[in-house]
Structure 1
Amino acid sequence: MPARKNASGRKPSARLLLAAEVARLREESGRSLGQLAQETTYDRTYLHKLETGVRIGSPEVIAALDKVYATGERLSMLWELAREDVFPDKYKRFMELEATATVRYEYAAATVPGLLQTKAYASEVLGVAQPGDEQELAELVAARLGRQGLLHRESPPHYRAVLDEAVFRRALSDPEEWQAQLVHLLTMAQLAHVTLQVLPFSSGLHPLIGTSLTLLWQADGSTAAYTENSHTGELVEDASGVERLRLSYDLLRDSALSPRESVAFIQRLMEDDATCETLDRT
């Protein structure tokens, strides 16, 4: 049966479908919002926002609702579809392309790429960039971490990430969480389809300073590029524009440390940070 369309003729979004299902289940159960709040330990105002589609919720609250309503993982599966609605519309075309890409090259100018972030790192970065309430932040973090499944699926893309040294000079506020992020980078670097390189300050100026870049190759040979700074992002699909950015990436990659040297760089950084922490405590 085709999905029901609304008055405008468009199919309802997964976000609205999730909201409608959550509201229907509570109505059929005969529970009040207050009763549901007691059973799930989540605030009734927040639960109301889930039922009206203002929020999509976090995996934790959706799992709690699945448990209360004995729906298995039905709501969680709906949430997996709805979480993409957290991202701006202009970013969804990029997400379509990244889902089918066979090769992905990335340059990170200032922060650890989203595909390589720990939960603590994502929480702090998103909290600084988009300050809001705790529930909204939890949704953004869950959506970002959910995209990391791209690197762990059965046929993952070949992924090369060049991280500017600036990425490593802006640590998390919690030293232990920063160490955990560095350990995670080393762990990811061990995967056969993942290559990590560090671009040291000593490499000098280059065409992508201040701009992060992602290149996506499709199975048919077509390529798209996405450039991003702290305020804007742009998807480039025309061949000439992509080729110019690809050449800039090639020059940058050639100036970076080798994968083995990059691992050694991160290991030295971890040792230096641990030594500094020990000195601070004495």
Structure 2
Amino acid sequence: MPPRRVVTGRSQEPRKRFAEELRHLRLERKLSFRALGAALGWDATLFSKMEKGETLGGPEVVQGLDTFYGTSDLLLVLWELAAGDQSQFKERYRRYMALEAEALSLWHYAVSIVPGLLQTEAYARDVLALGGASGDALTREVEARIGRRELLVGDTAPTFRSILCETVLRTPLGDRKEWREQLEHLLEMGERRNVTIQVLRHSAGLPALTNTQSMFLKLTDGRTVAWVETAHSGDLVEETASVERLQLAYDQVRDLALSPAESRKFIMQMLEEAACDPST
């Protein structure tokens, strides 16, 4: 193990401290991001984002860095400290995923992006890349997300309702062909007997769930739980009174949304506009 370094003057904030250590180790060995990426097998941009504090990377990447630099578990320990709430977030999300797989019915409200269960592979890749994933890690995350769509297939598939804020349909992918494929996929999924898709128009006014993406799960034991997520955090809500308040807000949103038939017409209109885009 390398000699212990004096840390005086270094940041005491875990995330910044982690990024500082990454930069120190790389520069100490006079490595470029490209050289580091080539040595470890990950995209060079990932290490750049980690040093800028834009992403923490995953434990596999950090363990690879510890091995490469010969720093024992130093970086992994710093990563765990920096992850903090993110580690808790992942644990809550894993529990939610287990409940989702067993749910009898699901109902969802999308604020700004297409829900994972309705995403095409291209859409999922663009969304997940925004979180900092790249290379093989991104491929694995996309495969996992697309695999979740199997939940809605088969004779025993749960019923699923998704209300899409109009913003979701007016925020296209950079590749217009891929965006048309996503809209076509929404229309196709909406034809399934167990899937209902509705659109909440901007003209309906401010919804009760203003900036909270929500998923409700009806479980086999009769309970309903909710997963609520913003741009910065997510939480599994199981306490009955809290779930009921969220459900009431969801019901108010549903009352303002277009009917499934009207929603289908609106999505078709968006598809026609995308097909007429002169840039494609």
Shorter-chain TM-score bucket reads: 0.5 to 0.7
Q: Deviations over 1:187-221 (max 9, x none)?
A: 00000000000000011012211110000001332
- Could you tell me how far apart the structure 2 residues matched to 1:88 and 1:154 are? 31
- Could you tell me how far apart the structure 2 residues matched to 1:243 and 1:132 are? 35
- Could you tell me how far apart the structure 2 residues matched to 1:208 and 1:142 are? 30
- Could you tell me how far apart the structure 2 residues matched to 1:145 and 1:46 are? 24
- Could you tell me how far apart the structure 1 residues matched to 2:134 and 2:258 are? 40
2:245 aligns with: 244
- For structure 2, the residue ranges without an aligned partner over 5 or more in a row are 1-37, 43-58, 62-88
Superposition pairs of residues 39-78 of structure 1, within 5 angstroms = 46=41, 54=60
Superposition pairs of residues 104-183 of structure 1, within 5 angstroms = 104-128=106-130, 130-183=131-184
2:260 aligns with: 259
Q: Deviations over 1:60-106 (max 9, x none)?
A: xxxxxxxxxxxxxxxxxxxxxxxxxxx92220110111111101000
Deviation at 1:148, TM superposition (A): 1.2
Match of 2:90 among 82, 88, 91: 88
Superposition pairs of residues 198-277 of structure 1, within 5 angstroms = 198-277=199-278
Report SS of the residue matched to 2:207.
coil
Q: Could you tell me the percent identity over the aligned residues?
A: 43
Amino acid at match of 1:111: I
Q: Deviations over 1:117-169 (max 9, x none)?
A: 000000001111x1233111111111111111111144111100000000011
- Could you tell me how far apart the structure 1 residues matched to 2:252 and 2:133 are? 39
**In structure 2, do the counterparts of structure 1 residues 204 and 90 end up closer, same or farther at CA, with 3 Å as the change threshold?**
same
Which of 179-188 and 147-156 deviates more? Answer: 147-156
- Could you tell me how far apart the structure 2 residues matched to 1:153 and 1:238 are? 31
Deviation at 1:44, TM superposition (A): 9.3
- For structure 1, the residue ranges without an aligned partner over 5 or more in a row are 1-42, 48-52, 56-86
TM-score by length of 2: 0.68
- Could you tell me how far apart the structure 2 residues matched to 1:152 and 1:99 are? 12
Report SS of the residue matched to 1:257.
coil
- Could you tell me how far apart the structure 1 residues matched to 2:139 and 2:276 are? 33
Please report the RMSD computed on the Cα atoms of aligned residues, expressed in angstroms. 2.0
Deviation at 1:276, TM superposition (A): 2.5
Amino acid at match of 2:176: P
Q: How many residues end up aligned between the 2 structures?
A: 201
- Could you tell me how far apart the structure 2 residues matched to 1:183 and 1:261 are? 16
- Could you tell me how far apart the structure 1 residues matched to 2:92 and 2:236 are? 8
- Could you tell me how far apart the structure 1 residues matched to 2:258 and 2:165 are? 10
1:103 aligns with: 105
Amino acid at match of 1:216: L
